[in-house]
């Protein structure tokens, strides 16, 4: 795939992030039935639902079927596959974006059992709802969002195939030279948010084993959208002349479009007990070297605070690479795009990742 040199604006960026790969289009040629995306209004959800809609349309076109419906071999009508996004939609703009992309939307508080029970049936579900930032001081709300909500979802969609987003935060911090935690390593969360994330996994696991629900658990580690992410955090500090903290010396990052593609592809791997997949880039990304790369791009010096710490939160992605290949977007491309976007003063979501929080406080 040819990569753009940079992005003129958010419209170009959003189109590229949500552009399905051939592998995702082929997935939708094989995947039967509708798709429901729960928690669709978050940072990744709009892109995921849009990619799914685009892939479904492309798959139908490749099969010679009209996305709005075509006659089947028996002569009856064929109903177009629906992609439905579910969220509270406190931001009306996110709902408008999805509907313009052809995604059906349903407003629902996923902590409301009665409303959750009325959600549309679908054999394929992506669960993206949850809470991370603002956990400190609001711990009970985080537990409800990350543990109770998955339980209600698992009950409602017990007969579906579910790809559930989790996080590499369920792993312990490890040394940069370790290669990162593997999917079969024992979890050891640091901080209350990370414990709720493990609780989310345990609830899906328990329901999967009890009911036979097929589940894939996506342990994501720092997806990159030029408006937020680890690279944006580092770039902003370098550009502002703010010292970059080296307490957590490295991280894993992955282009958001690649992370979404792997999450969708994991639907075919969903199983009981759950299939677990680390999703991130293959490199152990040095914070110091990344800051220095941004400093060169900006034509300025960068300052650091402290020395490289001995531990970082790292995930080994060999399983994903073996199944799906390496991400399409390289680390160098992500750094170059982020430098260009940040230097031009283009929009930030204002949501720092806190990748340098070694104590797990978010």
d(CA 205, CA 296): 46
> Which pLDDT score is estimated for 29?
96
Contact 162, 125 (CB under 8 A): yes
What end-to-end distance do the CA atoms of the chain give, in Å?
36
Helix axes 45-62, 256-265, angle to 10 degrees: 60
Break the chain into its structural domains and give their ranges. 10-223+254-280+314-327
- Hey, is 349 helix, strand or coil? coil
53: phi then psi, degrees, rounded to nearest 5: -60, -45
Instruction: Return per-residue pLDDT of the chain as tens, 362 residues.
Output: 689 999 999 999 999 999 999 999 999 999 999 999 999 998 899 999 999 999 999 999 987 644 444 444 444 334 468 999 999 999 899 999 999 999 999 999 999 999 999 999 999 999 999 987 666 678 999 999 999 999 999 999 999 999 999 999 999 999 999 999 999 999 999 999 999 999 999 999 999 999 999 999 999 999 999 999 999 999 999 999 999 999 999 999 999 999 999 999 999 999 999 999 999 999 999 999 999 999 999 999 999 999 999 999 999 999 999 999 999 999 999 999 999 999 999 999 999 999 988 776 76
In whole angstroms, what is the distance from residue 207 CA to residue 273 CA?
9
pLDDT of residue 78: 41
Locus of tokens 């104590």: 359
User: According to the model, what pLDDT value does residue 108 have?
Assistant: 97
DSSP state of 176: G
b/e map of 303-322 (b: 16 or more CB within 10 Å)?
eeeeeebebbbbbbbebbee
Alpha-carbon gap, residue 159 to 154, rounded angstroms: 9
- Concatenate the DSSP letters of all residues of 276-295 into one string: EEEES-SS-EEHHHHHHHHH
What are the residues facing 164 on neighbouring strands?
Answer: 127, 217
C-alpha–C-alpha distance, residues 327 and 306, integer Å: 32
Superfamily classification of domain 10-223+254-280+314-327: NAD(P)-binding Rossmann-like Domain (3.40.50.720)
The whole-angstrom separation of Cα 286 and Cα 190 is: 21
Residue corresponding to tokens 């996305």: 67
Name the 3-class secondary structure at 220. strand
The Cα 163–Cα 267 span in angstroms is 6
Is residue 41 a contact partner of residue 85, using CB atoms and an 8 Å limit?
yes
């Amino acid at each position: 795939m040819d990569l753009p040199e940079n992005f003129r604006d958010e419209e170009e960026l959003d189109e590229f992030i949500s552009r399905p790969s051939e592998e995702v289009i082929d997935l939708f040629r094989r995947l039967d039935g509708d798709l429901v995306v729960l928690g669709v209004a978050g940072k990744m959800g709009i892109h995921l639902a849009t990619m799914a809609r685009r892939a479904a349309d492309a798959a139908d076109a490749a099969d010679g079927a009209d996305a709005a419906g075509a006659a089947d071999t028996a002569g009856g009508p064929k109903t177009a596959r629906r992609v439905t996004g579910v969220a509270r939609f406190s931001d009306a703009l996110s709902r408008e974006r999805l509907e313009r992309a052809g995604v059906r939307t349903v407003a629902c508080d996923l902590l409301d059992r009665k409303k959750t029970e009325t959600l549309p049936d679908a054999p394929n579900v992506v669960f993206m709802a949850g809470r991370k930032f603002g956990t400190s001081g609001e711990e009970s709300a985080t537990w409800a969002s990350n543990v109770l909500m998955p339980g209600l979802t698992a009950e409602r969609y017990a007969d579906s195939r579910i790809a559930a987003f989790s996080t590499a935060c369920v792993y312990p911090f490890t040394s940069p030279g370790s290669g990162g935690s593997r999917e079969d390593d024992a979890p050891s969360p640091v901080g209350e948010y990370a414990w709720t994330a493990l609780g989310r996994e345990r609830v899906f696991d328990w329901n999967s084993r009890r009911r036979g629900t097929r589940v894939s658990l996506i342990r994501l580690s720092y997806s990159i959208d030029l408006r937020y992410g680890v690279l944006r955090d580092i770039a902003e500090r370098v550009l502002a002349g703010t010292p970059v903290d080296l307490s957590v010396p490295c991280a894993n990052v992955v282009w958001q479009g690649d992370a979404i593609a792997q999450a969708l592809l994991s639907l075919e791997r969903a199983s009981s007990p759950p299939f677990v997949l680390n999703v991130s880039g293959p490199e152990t990304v040095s914070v110091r070297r990344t800051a220095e790369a941004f400093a060169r791009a900006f034509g300025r010096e960068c300052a650091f605070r402290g020395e490289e710490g001995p531990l970082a939160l790292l995930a080994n992605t060999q399983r994903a690479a073996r199944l799906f290949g390496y991400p399409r977007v390289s680390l160098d491309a992500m750094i170059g795009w982020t430098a260009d976007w940040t230097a031009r003063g283009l929009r930030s979501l204002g949501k720092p990742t806190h990748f340098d929080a070694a104590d797990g406080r978010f």
